[in-house]
DNA sequence: TCAATAGTTCATAGTTTCCGAACTATTGAA
DNA sequence: TTCAATAGTTCGGAAACTATGAACTATTGA
């Protein structure tokens, strides 16, 4: 188990952020980490809505978020704590994360309106 | 050659937009279409920077942008005209496209600064 | 020392993307 | 009309990427 790689904020690329968040599961994980007072373990996040995500897939999702520069992961005892790198990313690409998060959030409302009838 | 599919703006999903624009080539194509007074043919766009994109790949890039709801394509004689659906998308996901375009634009500056030394 | 917990890594099946080659559609001559 | 040129689409197979079960690693607490 080699130590995690966290890119310096200057090396963070917009395409990596868009790619990471273009998967709705990963976007949901990221939003979850943002909401959870800024910290979340991997397993706490593993049941997203109805669907259970296998832990190997989860591990990979966290890796993609980490390498895109969106989160920082550190081991605390047996568990992993994940922090959003919101301020960093916001300073480098102002407005990007809020716009993406808002877009997903507004979309959920309309999804449920659609499926409600 | 079947007619093009353009999703209704209500069916446009944030993940499709992020996925479409997570490819730097496609993002550059989209920006190019936005800049070109709102219209651009496919071939006018085919030389992006240094790299030549094969036309089958280009055709696919336009398809991805179209199906993500980002552009509208219509045939005029022998050529294709592509219009950005900026106002539509902006109304549905306010701030999303400007933030993405700005992120890529600011990144280019820093890329060239890096490679200049 | 051992079991439990939390996650990573590996192997592989399935999916997506890229691009050359062949094809289609439209126009403007000869 | 037919033909060549232009502008793109579609097809097919190789390469790249993604998901997940199974095996593994690391840490803790009994």
Question: What is the Cα–Cα distance from B30 to B50, expressed in whole angstroms?
Answer: 17
Q: Do A98 and B98 touch (CB under 8 A)?
A: no
Contact A45, A32 (CB under 8 A): yes
Task: Tell me the pLDDT of chain A averaged across its residues.
Answer: 89
Question: Taking 60 as the threshold, does the pLDDT of residue A115 lie above it?
Answer: no
Q: Where are the alpha helices (DSSP H) in A1-117?
A: 14-21, 24-35, 55-67, 86-92, 96-116
Which residue ranges have CB below 7 A from strand D? A 1, 19, 23, 25, 53-57, 60-61, 75, 77-78; B 1-2, 4, 41-44, 55-56, 58-60, 62-63, 73, 78-80
Q: Per DSSP, what are the bridge partners of residue B48?
A: B51
Q: Which of B15, B19, B95 is nearest residue A95 as measured by Cβ atoms?
A: B95
Strand C: list positions under 7 Å from protein Cβ.
4-11, 17-22, 24-28
pLDDT of B39 reads: 75
pLDDT of A39 reads: 76
**Which residues of A lie closer than 8 Å to B, measured between beta carbons?**
10, 13-15, 17-19, 21-24, 27, 92-96, 98-100, 102-104, 106-107, 110
Q: Do B19 and A15 touch (CB under 8 A)?
A: no
What are the structural domains, with CATH classification, of chain B? 13-106 (1.10.10.10)
pLDDT of A110 reads: 63
Contact B105, A94 (CB under 8 A): no
Q: Label residue B115 by pLDDT band (50, 70, 90).
A: low
Residue with tokens 């890529």: B104
Question: Taking 60 as the threshold, does the pLDDT of residue B114 lie above it?
Answer: no
Question: What is the Cα–Cα distance from A91 to A12, expressed in whole angstroms?
Answer: 12
- What residues contact residue A77 under an 8 Å CB cut-off, 6+ apart? none
């Amino acid at each position: 188990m080699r130590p995690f790689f966290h890119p310096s904020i200057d090396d963070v690329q917009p395409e990596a952020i868009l790619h990471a968040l273009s998967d709705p599961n990963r976007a949901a994980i990221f939003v979850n980490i943002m909401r959870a007072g800024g910290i979340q373990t991997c397993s706490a996040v593993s049941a997203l809505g109805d669907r259970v995500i296998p832990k190997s897939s989860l591990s990979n999702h966290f890796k993609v978020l980490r390498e895109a520069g969106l989160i920082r992961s550190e081991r605390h005892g047996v568990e992993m704590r994940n922090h959003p790198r919101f301020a960093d990313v916001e300073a480098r690409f102002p407005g990007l994360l809020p716009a993406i998060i808002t877009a997903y959030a507004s979309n959920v409302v309309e999804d449920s309106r659609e499926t409600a009838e």
